[in-house]
Amino acid sequence: MTTDGIGGLRERFGRSLRLGIVGGGPDSWIGRMHRGAAEMDGWFRVVAGVLSSDPERSHAAGLALGLDPGRCYGSAAEMFAAERSRTDGIDAVAIMTPNDTHYAYSAAALDAGLDVVCDKPVTGNFAEACDLARRTRERGRLFAIVHGYSAYPMIRYARQLVRDGTLGRVRLTQVEYLQNGLATMIEDGPLTAKQRWLLDPARSGLALVMGAIGCHAQHLASFVAGLPAVRVAADVGTLLPGRKVVDHVSALVEYEGGARGTFTATQASAGAENDIRLKVHGERGQIEWSHRTLSYLTVAMQGEPVKTIGRGDLYLPPEILAAGRTPRGHPEGLREAFANIYAEIAQERIARSLGESIPLSPYPRIEDGAHTMAFIEACLASQAQGGWAAVAKMPGH
């Protein structure tokens, strides 16, 4: 729930949570998304930051964002140590840095007693993700991964319809995520700083397209269907000859309980924008959602007229209505979805601090991130061995 309600939780706590940020300087698109989302509903206030790996640039960027000069830090280690010694130190940290730094910053934040909000992919491999899950559990912290698409109101409603049994047993999922950013050999031209690290396999991760967008598609399918993947048969490679990073993955998926799925993610689809499509088929009907019409969900039950349900329809459950902020027909988008994740982790943190309980929120957690890394590793194993590969389970699961 994203309103000031939830039993006056923030009022009883007496303040917004204090957030430190690592990465996401003044000119960063993702930085603006995180900062705006964190503060949108008043649950967080950004008070400290490390905005560059260069200490002087970090300090200048912090000042440009209006941070207290004494809380513009040159490194994450410096920020964690200094904030821990303050009576008004940060409660949580948001990490929006290159992929190969996520694990180290997250581990250090957890060890410093902080809750974490981290960009995807959460780590470079499954073992690192399992380690972060262990640290989160042992230190009694909270860990959210910003799979923003999972926090759209109509995705939340789709998930609820599945969980409530409206579709019956899930039989099949179909998910695809198509982009055009690598539809040409951008490697042959001048590159931005971000493009340079993204196109470096040592920095972008096990498979570029999976770390960039495929992880979102994998999480979305499992999130709505309520099922983890147990094995995959994948085609992992490039659509453009000569490319050194993976720009395409397609896979057949088997889910827990026997449901089947298809999965496609590519950044080399000429003419695509940010095209995400999801279908979940059950024994009694199906639901369909598209990012191009993100405020609407199509529900087609066997033998019944097809229904289009819109964000803001007054008959929707209260928790679904609360995930939106404007009446139906007024645009909402990804920043508001990010804000839902920030609101949910804040509400859980504050409720814990007050010794109160609230319903478990569905924001993506570190365990989801670990499953994503296991899925990626299984896709790579499938490609290498030319057949089905098992998706590893976390220890104890």
Give me the percent of the chain exceeding a pLDDT of 90.
90
Q: How confident is the model at residue 101 (pLDDT cuts 50, 70, 90)?
A: very high
Q: Average pLDDT in the 157-168 region?
A: 98
What confidence score (pLDDT) does residue 109 get? 98
This prediction has a pTM of 0.95
97 within 8 A of 105, measured Cβ to Cβ: yes
Mean pLDDT over each residue of the chain, to the nearest integer: 95
Q: Tell me: the pLDDT tens digits for 28-37?
A: 999 999 999 9
Largest CA distance in the chain: 65
Least confident of 35-44, 138-147, 216-225, 327-336: 327-336
Q: Average pLDDT in the 329-351 region?
A: 95
Q: Tell me: the pLDDT tens digits for 265-279?
A: 999 999 999 999 999
What confidence score (pLDDT) does residue 149 get? 98
With tokens 């404007």, the residue in question is 326
What confidence score (pLDDT) does residue 140 get? 97
Domains of the chain and CATH, by start:
6-148 (3.40.50.720), 153-326+365-385 (3.30.360.10)
Q: Tell me: the pLDDT tens digits for 276-289?
A: 999 999 999 999 99
Least confident of 87-101, 271-285, 350-364: 350-364
Q: Give the list of residues 6+ apart from residue 135 with CB closer than 8 angstroms, or none.
A: 107, 110, 111, 141
What confidence score (pLDDT) does residue 1 get? 39
What confidence score (pLDDT) does residue 7 get? 64
Instruction: Give which of 92, 149, 94, 146 is closest to 120, Cα–Cα.
Output: 146
What confidence score (pLDDT) does residue 82 get? 98
Cα distance between residue 133 and residue 369, in whole Å: 9
Q: Average pLDDT in the 321-338 region?
A: 93
What confidence score (pLDDT) does residue 2 get? 42
Q: How confident is the model at residue 359 (pLDDT cuts 50, 70, 90)?
A: confident
Q: Does the structure show a pLDDT above 50 at 3?
A: no
With tokens 């969980």, the residue in question is 163
Q: Tell me: the pLDDT tens digits for 22-62?
A: 999 999 999 999 999 999 999 999 999 999 999 999 999 99
